[in-house]
Amino acid sequence: MVDRNPRITVVNDNQEFLQLMHSLLEEDSGYDVTTIDVDAIRNVEPIRQSRPELLIIDLRGRRNGLAGWDVLKAVRQDAELSELPIIICTGDLLGLEERAEEIAKDPRVRTLRKPFQVADLEAMVRSFVGEDETA
C-alpha cells in the first residue's frame, strides 16, 4: 500500500492555469502537485527533480524556454522519464490535430481539450495514477 499521495507535475505557460490545477489536484483531490512554468524549462531536469508519476502539459508556451511539444519529446527521450504517463491538456486544437497520429502511437499519452470538465480531468488522472475516489 502506498503511504503517500501520487506526484503530479503540471507544466504550462499560464500562471492562472497552474494555480487552478494546483487547487484542483492538490487542495481538492489530495495529490502532491508541482507546477512549472514551461517558459522556465531549458531541459527536462526540473521535471526529473519533481519525480512525477504523471505529467500534465500544454502543447504551447515558448517565450524563452522549450515549447510544450518539445518538452514532451525530451521527456520521451530521457531514460528516467521515458515511461512517464502524460496528459496533454491544451486549447491548441490545431496542434493536436497536426500531431494526432504521433500522439495515438503512444499509449501513455492522452489528450484533454480546454475547456474541460473537472470530472473528466479527475477521471483521467485517476486512470493513470491508479487512485480510488476514496481518500
Q: Give the separation between CA 39 and CA 13, rounded to whole angstroms.
A: 6
Q: What is the reported pTM?
A: 0.90
b vs e for 108-134, b when ≥16 Cβ sit within 10 Å of the residue's Cβ?
ebebbeeeeeeeebbebbeebbebeee
Residue ranges of the domains in the chain?
Answer: 7-128
Over the stretch 97-123, which tens digit does the pLDDT of each residue have? 999 999 999 999 999 999 999 999 999
Mapped onto helix, strand or coil, the DSSP state of residue 35 is strand
> Which band of pLDDT confidence, cut at 50, 70 and 90, is reported for residue 86?
very high
Judging by beta carbons within 10 Å of its beta carbon (0-12, 13-18, 19+), is residue 71 exposed, middle or buried? buried
Tell me: pLDDT of 63 over 60.
Answer: no
Phi, psi of 39 (to 5 degrees): -70, -15
What is the CATH number that goes with domain 7-128? 3.40.50.2300
